[in-house]
């Protein structure tokens, strides 16, 4: 189901405006999504309606107009800017006589094209199957009257086949879910955390193509724990990243944190995809700090921020402190960068000065509870000295007759672990 061939098709896009503010933007974005899928948009049809028509989504006249315009422009596919009911899709397919898909199907196809890792492929396939399930239909000969429901109303030989198909799909979904659970996508962060004694986690989140991966790579260039640390994939295309990557970074004062980069969002992200990608997004859900990366050079950035924040809520991410990072300021001649105003940071992910300042801002947040103390570690506790050198920001070390005397900046958890060796200043 997921080995879609890369296609290059001429497509017509069509949408209903119910007077919503972001309608124009969502149509522009649909064009971008079609491009991301390798298609070329040759025509654009819009209808103003208070609500979609039950059986055919658009009014009759509009359906004819779409069919004519598509043919006149040699389009082979029509893409509708919404998630349609199964019967609406079937009816439009019949009436227009061309391949008709909805926005959800298009996004699923893009994700399927992009998925490289086993986990991403499995997650996409689960979403595809869930989308397909209510769209299975034993016969598609006559025009359905209503949206929703569909095939189950049809009685006869087809029903048995339909039931069987459904059972097969449900079984496969269950198996893929099990595989995903066994692969445990969230394990990556926990593994690194276990090795490193609970260093804080910072997650990059935001709209697709905002520059999350570029920001991650910029920070890795400056602060990667090991020089050979692998960079993540960045590219000027929607949904370049479908997996979560976690890397450990060490700041100049020896403070360490984990940085995660993950899948981006888009408006009307299909709910099946959100569900399927919950495991991938778990890093963000468990983060100590979120950095919302925004493409500040895109005039639609306020809508993108709104959609990002809504999506985070849908996933159940709230109450995590957030820095808003307005990226690509280099593309805005009217803007000075890097510039910090509270937790609003204007920057360019391609500018080292910006990244240094971002690192300082991260430090300020995640090490807010840090305190500097002096400890006297007995020689018998050599592993604690190693721990301090590895995990805390050590500013002085002195070897005395009684043990190793270390001054370090530690967070609350580390302070607890070291409390019994605290030197009380007299």
Q: Which of 321, 360, 320 is nearest to 340 (CA)?
A: 360
> Does 93 appear as a known binding residue?
no
Contacts of 271 (CB under 8 A, 6+ apart): 314
Interaction between residue 235 and ligand GTP (CB under 6 A): yes
Q: How far apart are CA 355 and CA 348, in angstroms?
A: 8
Question: What is the rounded CA–CA span in Å between residue 83 and residue 96?
Answer: 18
239 binds ligand GTP (CB under 6 A): yes
55: tokens are 């059986």
330 belongs to the binding site for ligand GTP (CB under 6 A): yes
Q: Are 134 and 150 in contact (CB under 8 A)?
A: yes
Among 209, 292, 404, 409, binds ligand GTP (CB under 6 A): 209
330 makes contact, choosing from ligand GTP, Mg ion, none, with CB < 5 to 8 Å by partner type, with: ligand GTP
Is 312 a residue that touches ligand GTP (CB under 6 A)? no
Binding mask 366-405 for ligand GTP (x = CB under 6 A): ----------------------------------------
Neighbour tally for 31: CB within 10 Å: 17
Assess 267 for contact with ligand GTP (CB under 6 A).
no
Smallest distance, ligand GTP to C-beta of residue 262, A: 8
Output 77 or 209, the one with its CB closest to ligand GTP: 209
Position among 348, 392, 404, 414 found at the interface with ligand GTP (CB under 6 A): 348
Is there binding between residue 350 and ligand GTP (CB under 6 A)? yes
Q: Are 282 and 223 in contact (CB under 8 A)?
A: no
- Residue 241 in the binding site for ligand GTP (CB under 6 A): yes
> Rounded to an integer, what distance in angstroms lies between the CA atom of residue 166 and that of residue 171?
8
260 φ/ψ angles, rounded to the nearest 5 degrees: -120, 145
331 near ligand GTP, judged by CB under 6 A: yes
Binding residue for ligand GTP (CB under 6 A) from 37, 137, 212, 373? 212
Q: Does 238 bind ligand GTP (CB under 6 A)?
A: yes
Closer to ligand GTP by Cβ: residue 240 or 410: 240
Binding residues among 285-304 for ligand GTP as defined by CB under 6 A: 293
Please, what is the minimum distance in Å from the beta carbon of residue 114 to Mg ion? 10
Sheet with 99-102: strands ordered across? 40-48, 10-17, 77-80, 99-102
Instruction: Rank residues 95 and 305 by Cβ distance to Mg ion and give the closer one.
Output: 305
Q: Which residue has the tokens 């299909």?
A: 270
Contact residues: Mg ion, CB under 5 A = 212-213, 240-241
Instruction: Quickly list H helices, 37-133.
Output: 60-72, 86-96, 103-114, 118-132
Q: Given the DSSP bridges, would you call strands 256-261 and 289-295 parallel, antiparallel or unpaired?
A: unpaired
Cα–chain center distance at 376? 46
Interacting partner of 214 out of ligand GTP, Mg ion, none (Cβ under 5 to 8 A depending on kind): ligand GTP
Bond before 338 cis per omega within 30 degrees: yes
Identify the three-state secondary structure at position 241.
Answer: coil
User: Applying CB under 6 A, does 208 fall inside the site for ligand GTP?
Assistant: yes
Q: Interior CA angle at 301 toward 297 and 306, to 5°?
A: 165
Residue 210 is labelled as binding a ligand: yes
Question: Which residue in the shown chain puts its C-beta closest to Mg ion?
Answer: 241
Angle 137-39-139 from CA coordinates, rounded to 5° = 10
Interacting residues toward ligand GTP by CB under 6 A: 208-214, 234-236, 238-241, 264, 293, 327-328, 330-331, 348-350
Known binding site: residues?
A: 206-213, 239-243, 261-264, 327-330, 348-350
Q: Which residue positions form the known binding site for GTP?
A: 206-213, 239-243, 261-264, 327-330, 348-350
């Amino acid at each position: 189901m997921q080995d879609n061939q890369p296609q290059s098709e001429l497509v017509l896009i069509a949408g209903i405006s119910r007077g919503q503010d972001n309608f124009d933007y969502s149509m522009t974005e649909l064009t971008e999504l079609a491009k991301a899928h390798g298609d070329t948009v040759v025509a654009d049809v819009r209808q103003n309606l208070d609500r979609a028509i039950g059986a055919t989504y658009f009014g009759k006249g509009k359906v004819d107009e779409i069919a004519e315009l598509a043919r006149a422009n040699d389009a082979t596919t029509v893409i509708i800017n919404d998630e349609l009911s199964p019967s609406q899709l079937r009816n439009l397919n019949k009436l227009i006589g061309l391949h008709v898909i909805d926005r959800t199907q298009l996004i699923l196809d893009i994700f399927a094209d992009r998925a490289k890792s086993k986990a991403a492929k499995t997650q996409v396939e689960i979403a595809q199957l869930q989308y397909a399930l209510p769209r299975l239909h034993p016969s598609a000969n006559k025009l359905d009257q209503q949206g929703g429901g569909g095939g189950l109303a049809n009685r006869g030989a087809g029903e048995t086949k339909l039931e069987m198909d459904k059972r097969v799909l449900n079984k496969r979904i269950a198996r893929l879910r099990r595989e995903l659970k066994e692969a445990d996508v969230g394990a990556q962060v926990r593994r690194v955390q276990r090795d490193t004694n609970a260093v804080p986690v910072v997650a990059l989140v935001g709209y697709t193509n905002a520059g999350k991966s570029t920001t991650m790579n910029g920070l890795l260039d400056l602060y990667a724990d090991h020089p050979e640390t692998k960079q993540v994939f960045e590219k000027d295309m929607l949904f370049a990243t479908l997996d979560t990557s976690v890397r450990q970074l060490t700041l100049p004062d020896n403070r360490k944190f984990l940085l995660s980069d993950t899948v981006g969002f888009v408006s009307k992200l299909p709910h099946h995809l959100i569900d399927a990608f919950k495991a991938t997004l778990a890093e963000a859900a468990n983060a100590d700090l979120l950095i919302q990366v925004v493409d500040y050079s895109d005039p639609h950035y306020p809508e993108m921020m709104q959609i990002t924040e809504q999506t985070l809520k849908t996933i159940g991410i709230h109450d995590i402190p957030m820095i808003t990072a307005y990226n690509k300021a280099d593309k805005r001649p009217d803007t000075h960068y890097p510039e910090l105003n509270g937790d609003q940071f204007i920057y360019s992910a391609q500018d080292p000065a910006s990244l240094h300042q971002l690192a300082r801002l991260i430090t300020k947040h995640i090490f807010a509870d840090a305190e500097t103390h002096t400890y006297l570690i007995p020689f018998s506790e050599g592993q604690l000295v190693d721990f301090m050198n590895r995990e805390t920001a050590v500013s002085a070390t002195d070897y005395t007759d009684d043990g190793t005397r270390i001054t370090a900046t530690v967070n609350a958890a580390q302070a607890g672990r070291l409390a019994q060796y605290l030197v009380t200043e007299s």
